[in-house]
Amino acid sequence: MIKKFTFGTPTETEAVICREGIVEPGEKVPYFSVASSGGDQDKSHVLTYGMGEQDIVYGLGENIRGINKRGWLYESNCTDDPKHTESKHSLYAAHNFFLVDGTERFGVFVDAPQKTVFDVGYSDRDRLTVTVDEGGFVLYIVEGESLRHIVKEFRHAIGRSYIPPKWAMGYGQSRWGYKTAEEIRQVVKKHRDNQVPLDSVYMDIDYMERYKDFTVDEEKFPDFPGFVREMKDQKIHLVPIIDAGVKIEEGYDVYEEGVEKGYFCKKEDGREFVGGVWPGRVHFPDMLHEEARQWFGKKYKILIDQGIDGFWNDMNEPALFYGEDHLKEVFDQLKEYQTKELDIDTFFGMKALILGIANNPEDYKTFYHNYRGERIRHDKVHNLYGYYMTRAAGEEFEKMEPDKRLLLFSRASYIGMHRYGGIWMGDNCSWWSHILMNLQMLPGLNMCGFLYTGADLGGFGADTTEDLMLRWLGLGIFTPLMRNHSARGTRSQEFYRFGHLEDFRNIIGLRYGLLPYLYSEFVKSAMTDDMMFLPLAFVYPGDETAAVTEDQLMVGESMMIAPVYKQNARGRYVYLPEDMKLYRLRSTDSMDSQILTAGHHYVKAELNEVLIFLRPDHVVPFGKGGCNVEEAESSSLRLLHFVRTKAVYDWYHDDGFTRDVDLEKGITRITVEAHGTIASAGAGRCQWSLI
């Protein structure tokens, strides 16, 4: 049951698209006390909930800190911040859905495109407050029998999650620094020569001509369509980046057309807003304006026509290195500083001035959108920009390629964007703590509809190490988006930069072995509005230890994972809510297994091993692997198994690219009896055996 409450005159976000089962009771908001301040039009609101001592708060999607969000303050205010330290309040997304579980159990979605602050026991340990910036918003209270049920209700209301093509669940190699076709060829060759699986190579900003969207630098990439074909022949998909800002340059068609048609965001005086990003001075397409959005979305065709079938949208918070008007003021003020003695006040004043050049909240108040026929100031809808950029692409892809799924993911997002694409977790760092942060984000993202997601494996900023890379892959082999990406200037982190090729081949290879299960679980989760990565408490309600377990997750219906995320560890403590069978995987052909009883265990895990824990009466379809997703397809699959009485698994399989996904058509029901007989019924013709 979902109850809807409207405050003021909210801006439609199109996050909620299915209204069936949503009631507007007209009564007082349950659970919360509500306070408002400000004038009639510009009220800001504060919702307050008194938390019980043991209450747990889940959700809020892409954010720092734990699975339990208690004890910190989170701001939904999409921000380009490449240092995800514990002290931050905001990353690239605004995912305003959370669940309270304890004395009472309910879900809350605050549908507000403006800045919204969630103080989850930060100011007062026992109080949760939600403060919505000036303007209206819609509050949805979701109730259900269980945490999982509440999430499903909510997910149903926001619509089906994006399903990528299957190749996009293969391994991808990326680096901000690949500049030429030749460099990319070498990356691919190294993988193929060493039999390390690979399905995609990402093209960061250097492929473009002077960082202009939808252009390809012909000197570095002569005969681009030919190069795309050459890669396709090797089963490699090239995935170019698209940035939000459009370079201001005479003769550049996207810029000229955008100006001519009035599709860029404008200032109060009607002139285009000028910001600075990679290309230098840019205009921002008005992604909220339907016509402009369609226009921008159609531009992707320029690359699709050259054979491209996947994109990542970036810098779409939108990131601002500077706003031009403000920058001029800063330069003037700096001249004044030149004449001053720089002491405690003036020096720090100057520093703040300089640091305030990028992503300045004041700049976001100086330009406007034309949204649903109304002029609306950017800061009032700031959190929608990345969502609508990705929607621009997603909607046009459907028209351009009605029969084929394309890969699409974004950096900035708002709930609703999950229907059009996935997200990656942004500019993390090569820090051990970020493996855990990556794991802890997954369930919150799933709650908000983002199933296709993953982090920059190995870490984006800072220098990685071989052991960090391997351990991160130990988690990354489970995340739908599995991409090794790093920043320019950092240590290179392709597998061949390190000494133990074999370990990389085997661990990355495991992903391909697990693919029959992971793809099946992914699609089933998307189609049934379920989560693929679950906190233990969602599966074992009432188990007090499961409720506080912050470094293990359930992945789909059959397994639990417990990655190692500490340097020099040779194993870790693991909590088992019930008896489980541990598979210690070294490659698709080398593994051992052992049954462990419920409770706490210290389990060994060397750098070249990945642990998975099977629930009783469950199986995991497991393939032989391959050098790419296509090669990993097989008509004979094995089953990792822990069967005490009987296991029944509905295995979903399809061609991996058709847009219309039909669960019933794609499901094979596999039944395994305790004594080892396997029966299968349904779509897939496959040979099954136990391992």
List of residues contacting ligand GLC (CB under 6 A): 176, 204-205, 241, 314, 411, 426-427, 485
Residue 331 CA to residue 508 CA, distance in Å, equals: 50
Residue partners of 367: CB distance under 8 A and separation at least 6: 265, 266, 267, 273, 284, 377, 378
CB-closest chain residue to ligand GLC: 176
Residue 231 CA to residue 281 CA, distance in Å, equals: 33
Long-range CB contacts (< 8 A, 24+ apart) of 367-375? Answer: 367/265, 367/266, 367/267, 367/273, 367/284, 368/265, 368/266, 368/267, 368/268, 369/265, 369/286, 369/288, 369/289, 370/286, 370/288, 370/289, 370/292, 371/11, 371/288, 371/289, 372/12
Q: How far is the CB of 176 from ligand GLC (least distance, A)?
A: 4
Q: How far is the CB of 427 from ligand GLC (least distance, A)?
A: 5
Q: How far is the CB of 205 from ligand GLC (least distance, A)?
A: 4
Pairing of strands 137-142, 453-454: unpaired
For ligand GLC, the closer of residues 389 and 612 by Cβ is 389
For ligand GLC, the closer of residues 412 and 627 by Cβ is 412
Q: How far is the CB of 359 from ligand GLC (least distance, A)?
A: 13
For ligand GLC, the closer of residues 206 and 309 by Cβ is 206
For ligand GLC, the closer of residues 430 and 587 by Cβ is 430
Q: Are 391 and 296 in contact (CB under 8 A)?
A: no
Name residue 296's amino acid.
Answer: F
Q: Report CA-CA distances (Å) from 676 to 10, 111, 585, 679.
A: 58, 51, 21, 10
Q: How far is the CB of 458 from ligand GLC (least distance, A)?
A: 13
For ligand GLC, the closer of residues 206 and 609 by Cβ is 206
**395-427 as b/e: b if 16+ CB within 10 A:** bbbeebeeeebbbbbbbbbbbbbbbbbbbbbbb
Query: Taken in order 130, 135, 136, 137, is the CA torsion positive or negative?
Result: negative
For ligand GLC, the closer of residues 458 and 684 by Cβ is 458
Name residue 424's amino acid.
Answer: W
- Where would I find the beta strands (DSSP E) of 284-348? 310-314, 322-323
Per DSSP, the three-state class of 503 is: helix
Q: Are 454 and 202 in contact (CB under 8 A)?
A: no
Residue 189 CA to residue 234 CA, distance in Å, equals: 10
Nearest to 209 by CA among 218, 199, 217, 221: 217
For ligand GLC, the closer of residues 243 and 309 by Cβ is 243
Q: How far is the CB of 24 from ligand GLC (least distance, A)?
A: 40
Q: Helices 324-338 and 344-355 sit at what angle, rounded to 10 degrees?
A: 160
For ligand GLC, the closer of residues 144 and 245 by Cβ is 245
Q: How far is the CB of 241 from ligand GLC (least distance, A)?
A: 6
Q: How far is the CB of 365 from ligand GLC (least distance, A)?
A: 24
Residue 157 CA to residue 135 CA, distance in Å, equals: 23
Q: How far is the CB of 530 from ligand GLC (least distance, A)?
A: 29
Name residue 418's amino acid.
Answer: H
Residue 214 CA to residue 163 CA, distance in Å, equals: 24
For ligand GLC, the closer of residues 241 and 350 by Cβ is 241
Q: How far is the CB of 319 from ligand GLC (least distance, A)?
A: 8
Q: How far is the CB of 251 from ligand GLC (least distance, A)?
A: 24
Name residue 10's amino acid.
Answer: P
Q: How far is the CB of 414 from ligand GLC (least distance, A)?
A: 17
Q: How far is the CB of 472 from ligand GLC (least distance, A)?
A: 16
For ligand GLC, the closer of residues 83 and 646 by Cβ is 83
For ligand GLC, the closer of residues 122 and 431 by Cβ is 431
Tokens of 222: 């002569």
For ligand GLC, the closer of residues 176 and 337 by Cβ is 176
Q: Are 353 and 342 in contact (CB under 8 A)?
A: no
For ligand GLC, the closer of residues 284 and 583 by Cβ is 284
Residue 348 CA to residue 355 CA, distance in Å, equals: 10
Q: Are 423 and 409 in contact (CB under 8 A)?
A: yes
Per DSSP, the three-state class of 620 is: strand
